[in-house]
Chains A and B, each alone.
Chain A
Amino acid sequence: MASDDHSTWRVNAGFELHWRSWGDEYVVYHSGSGHTHLLNHTAATALRILQQTPAALPELCERLASEAGVEAGGDLSGALEELLADFARQGLIERVSP
């Protein structure tokens, strides 16, 4: 499931995410799948951003850089693309229909 710069992503509609965190580690329960995911700070921040408002990859990169203190350069975009694909496979997020 490759994304592209034009795709906008959001947390899967109709399901709840339940959060718990200790330090910079997070667990999140997805009411749709019944699965619990262990996330680091960066992944959790990305998912939270998408929970608040749908975003495309470039916007997500910018917000992640400012909210999670991640360096915007380097391979952030590529790493986020992989993360989004992983979230989508897990049923946590979906593409917003144009």
Chain B
Amino acid sequence: MKISALAPAEVARRLRQTGIVFRIGPVTAHLRSPVPAVAEGLCRLYADYPLEESGGFADFHVAIGPPPNLRRWIRPQAVFSFDGHTPFRPLPLEQAFPMFEWSLNWCVASCCNQYLILHAAVVEKGGLAAILPGPPGAGKSTLCAALVNRGWRLLSDELTLVSMGDAGLVPIPRPVNLKNDSIEIIRRFAPGAVLGRTSHDTQKGSVAHMKPPADSVERADELARPAWVIFPRYEKGATATLQPRSKAQTFIYAAENSFNYSYLGAQGFDTLGRLMDACDCYDFSYSSLDEAVATFDGLGPPAETGIQSHA
């Protein structure tokens, strides 16, 4: 049974009372919230996610609600709680749904140490996956959104989960976080894409989330084989260009931008090494999303490498 099987009023009622338990790839979340925008976002963007039995096991028990003080009457706020703890300061109530998204990212990044977790989007087509790291503002979420609207499968727009040992990629498909100009760019690029409400004046500017394709959610148990690590960079007027980059330097960047590489020690090193063995690495500059998608569609399988590893 999917969340879409529930009427919006029932979703809102359950969120206010017992909460809703739903599965996202390898994790199960139990969400409670009396905030209407959270119910609205869940109905709109999580319609295809499988519901789990209420009261059953959940990895994360999270809530988005008003803080327990008088501020709620002065300037309404929302606060995130996780297993009864409130790790973050409240945000304006209008940001309740983005707060849920960011907080769930935090839950996964903080707790799922059975995986090596890289800060990168990841998409798959034809059995081969492209990992898209890059600093904020490089355009990885925009490119990710464009690709999944052109037949690529979304594994994640933010967290690449790498299976320890074999370096397979574990999907955790969630709504794609679009910021500022990217919101209109994707509306124009993919008029059929479903976007949630835009929240303005957040720490990241204006943000809106795009619903993941139903196929990506349905195939969330299907691991993908890593094939490319591609650093996208939007450059006004640039022709779409792939430039090979060093695997060793890509390794170091990925390690420094991982959420738990240091925590995992030698196991993390070995897993990231296997990932780099399997992938071709590129810098990618682009200005046109159509050209970018065509470039990705034309990627060949990764080159055979003379793998050398030593313990």
Which A residues are closer than 8 A to B by beta carbons? 16, 18-23, 25-27, 29, 31, 34, 36, 38
Contacts and interface: CB of A to CB of B under 8 A. Distances in A.
A22 B276 contact: yes
Given A25-B248, A29-B269, A36-B269, A18 B255 contact: no
Contact of A22 (B248, B266, B310): B248
A27 B265 CA distance: 14
Nearest to B309: A20
Contacts of B252: 27, 36, 38
23 contacts: A16-B266, A16-B311, A18-B266, A18-B269, A18-B311, A19-B310, A19-B311, A20-B251, A20-B273, A20-B309, A21-B308, A22-B276, A25-B246, A25-B247, A25-B248, A25-B249, A27-B251, A29-B266, A29-B269, A31-B265, A34-B262, A36-B255, A38-B249
Nearest to B310: A19
B269 A22 contact: no
A26 B265 CA distance: 17
Interface string B107-124: 000000000000000000
Contacts of A29: 265-266, 269
A26 B249 CA distance: 9
Contacts of A21: 248, 308-309
Pick from B252, B255, B308, B310 the residue with the most CB of A within 10 Å. Answer: B310
A36 B256 CA distance: 9
Interface in B157-187: none
B300 to A, nearest CB: 19
A22 B305 contact: yes
A19 B277 CA distance: 13
A52 to B, nearest CB: 12
Contacts of B310: 18-20
B270 interface: yes
Contacts of A18: 266, 269-270, 310-311
Nearest to B266: A18
Given A22-B305, A36-B255, A27 B246 contact: no
Nearest to B249: A38
Contacts of A27: 248, 251-252, 269, 273
Interface of B: 246-249, 251-252, 255, 262, 265-266, 269-270, 273, 276, 305, 308-311
Given A20-B308, A21-B309, A22-B276, 16 more contacts: A16-B311, A18-B269, A19-B309, A20-B248, A20-B273, A22-B305, A23-B246, A23-B247, A25-B247, A27-B248, A27-B251, A29-B269, A31-B266, A34-B265, A36-B251, A36-B269
A36 B271 CA distance: 13
Contacts of A16: 266, 311
A25 B266 CA distance: 19
Pick from A16, A19, A22, A34 the residue with the most CB of B within 10 Å. Answer: A22
A31 to B, nearest CB: 6
Nearest to A34: B262
Contacts of B308: 20-22
Contacts of B270: 18
A45 B118 CA distance: 30
Contacts of A31: 265-266
B102 to A, nearest CB: 28
Contacts of B276: 20, 22
B248 A38 contact: yes
